Amino acid sequence: MDQEIKTKKSTSLTEQAYLALREKVITCELAPGSDVSEPELAEQLAMSKTPVREAMSRLCLEGLMEAFPRRGYRVTPVTVKDMNDLFAVRAILEGAAAALAATHINADELSVLEELAEAEYVMGEGMSTKGFVARNQMFHAAIAQGSKNPRLHTLIMRHLEEGTRFLYMGTRARDVNFETNSDHQKIVTALRERNVEQARAEMAQHIENTRQGLLQALISQTELNVTF
Q: Report CA-CA distances (Å) from 202 to 110, 116, 188, 193.
A: 16, 17, 9, 13
Architecture of domain 2-77: Orthogonal Bundle (1.10)
Are the C-beta atoms of 45 and 191 separated by less than 8 Å? no
**Domain ranges across the chain:** 2-77, 79-222
CATH number of 79-222: 1.20.120.530
Are the C-beta atoms of 164 and 137 separated by less than 8 Å? yes
CA nearest to 66, candidates 29, 26, 35: 35
Q: To which H or E segment does residue 73 belong? A: strand 72-75
Model pTM score:
0.84
What does each of the 228 residues of the chain score in pLDDT, given as a tens digit?
444 444 444 458 899 999 999 999 998 889 888 999 999 999 999 999 999 999 999 999 998 999 998 888 999 988 889 899 999 999 999 999 999 999 999 999 999 999 999 999 999 898 999 999 999 999 999 999 999 999 999 999 999 998 999 999 889 888 999 999 999 999 999 999 999 999 999 999 999 999 998 888 777 665 455 554
Q: Report CA-CA distances (Å) from 14 to 11, 17, 28, 55, 211.
A: 5, 5, 21, 6, 35
